[in-house]
Amino acid sequence: MKSPARKHFEQVSAAKAAGTATPGEQQQGEQYELYNRALYEATRSLKDIKSIEHKVEKKRELLPDFMPYVDGVLGEGKGAKDDVLMTLMIWCIDTGDYEKALQIGAYAVKHNLDTPDRYARNTVSVLAEEIAEGVKIQLAKEDADADALANVMARAVAIIGDADMHDEIKAKVHKYYGYALRAAEDNEGALAQLKRALELNDKIGVKQDIQRLESAIKKQGEQANA
pLDDT digits (tens, 9 = 90+) for 24-51: 888 888 888 989 999 999 999 999 999 9
Is residue 114 predicted with pLDDT exceeding 70? yes
Is residue 8 predicted with pLDDT exceeding 70? no
Q: Distance between CA atoms of 65 and 107, rounded to whole angstroms? A: 20
Give the single-character DSSP code of 117.
Answer: G
Q: What is the pLDDT of residue 29?
A: 83
Q: What is the pLDDT of residue 22?
A: 74
CATH class of the structural domain 123-218: mainly alpha
Q: Distance between CA atoms of 165 and 173, rounded to whole angstroms? A: 11
What ranges do the domains of the chain cover?
1-112, 123-218
Q: Which residue(s) pair with 81 in the sheet?
A: 26
Predicted TM-score (pTM) of the model is: 0.86
Is residue 115 predicted with pLDDT exceeding 90? no
User: What string of H, E and C letters represents the secondary structure of 51-95?
Assistant: CHHHHHHHHHHHHHHHHHHHHHHHHHCCCCECHHHHHHHHHHHHC
CA of 87: how far to CAs of 90, 118, 147, 176, 184, in Å? 5, 10, 28, 24, 31
